[in-house]
């Protein structure tokens, strides 16, 4: 009779396993959900705390291509072919403050990205470097 009233050891283990797994899955999904909600637009859901390195192509497309052309061939702004040979510091000075090598001041049509920001945020050295590398590869 007692066998009818109590669960077998196997049934208990199965039930416990089910509860533990269910809880684990629930907690993991919940935390993944929090990550998605808290992440900035475009950020990848990841446990890593290190931000992704800047993407020169994305930066160029979003901030420069409209004037300099998709391939930096020129448009409203000049072709950036010559820029490929510039040192990073010269490139940065042109992009951030509108000063070209040799003391030349660029027309104000070219934004001063130190003031306007890249994608709405103050430019970082890594972003300028990523842009320079990307343009050199075009
Ligand atoms: C609103 C249009 C516009 C945007 C956006 C723009 N530029 Fe320019 N840029 C210009 C113009 C116009 C010049 C030429 C200014 C001059 O020669 O006086 C120029 C000049 C330059 C020069 C100097 C080129 C040379 O040979 O003298 C560099 C380098 C440059 N831009 C890079 C960039 C980068 C990188 C971006 C994006 C982060 C960008 N520009 C965004 C219009 C723009």
Instruction: State residue 109's pLDDT score.
Output: 98
The one-character DSSP state at 122 is -
Same domain? For 87 and 31 the reply is no
The total domain count for the chain is 2
Which tokens in the block code for residue 24?
A: 């684990």
The finding on whether 131 has its CB within 6 A of some atom of ligand 1 is yes
Q: What pTM did the predictor assign?
A: 0.73
95 CA to centre of ligand 1 in angstroms: 7
Same structural domain, 132 and 67: yes
Is 25 strand, coil or helix? helix
pLDDT of residue 8: 75
Asked if residue 48 belongs to a domain, the reply is no
In CATH, what number is assigned to the domain containing residue 106?
1.10.760.10
Lowest mean pLDDT, pick from 33-42, 47-56, 102-111? 33-42
138: its two tokens: 């075009």
Contacts of 86 (CB under 8 A, 6+ apart): 94, 101, 132
Q: Are residues 86 and 112 in the same domain?
A: yes
Same domain, 7 and 71: no
pLDDT-based confidence at residue 66 (cuts at 50, 70, 90): very high
DSSP 103: G
Query: What is the predicted pLDDT for the residue at 56?
Result: 98
From the CB of 114, is ligand 1 less than 6 Å away? no
Give which of 31, 50, 54, 68 is closest to 119, Cα–Cα. 54
> What would the mean pLDDT of 116-122 be, rounded to a whole number?
95
């Amino acid at each position: 009779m007692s066998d009818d009233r109590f669960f077998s050891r196997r049934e208990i283990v199965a039930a416990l396993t089910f509860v533990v797994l269910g809880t684990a899955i629930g907690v993991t999904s919940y935390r993944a959900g929090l990550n998605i909600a808290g992440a900035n637009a475009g950020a990848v859901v990841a446990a890593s705390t290190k931000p992704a390195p800047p993407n020169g192509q994305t930066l160029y497309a979003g901030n420069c291509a409209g004037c300099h052309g998709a391939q930096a061939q020129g448009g409203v702004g000049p072709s950036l072919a010559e820029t490929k040979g510039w040192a990073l510091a010269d490139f940065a000075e042109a992009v951030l403050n509108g000063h070209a090598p040799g003391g030349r001041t660029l027309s104000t049509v070219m934004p001063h990205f130190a003031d306007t920001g890249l994608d709405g945020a103050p430019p970082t050295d890594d972003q300028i470097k990523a842009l320079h590398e990307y343009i050199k590869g075009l």
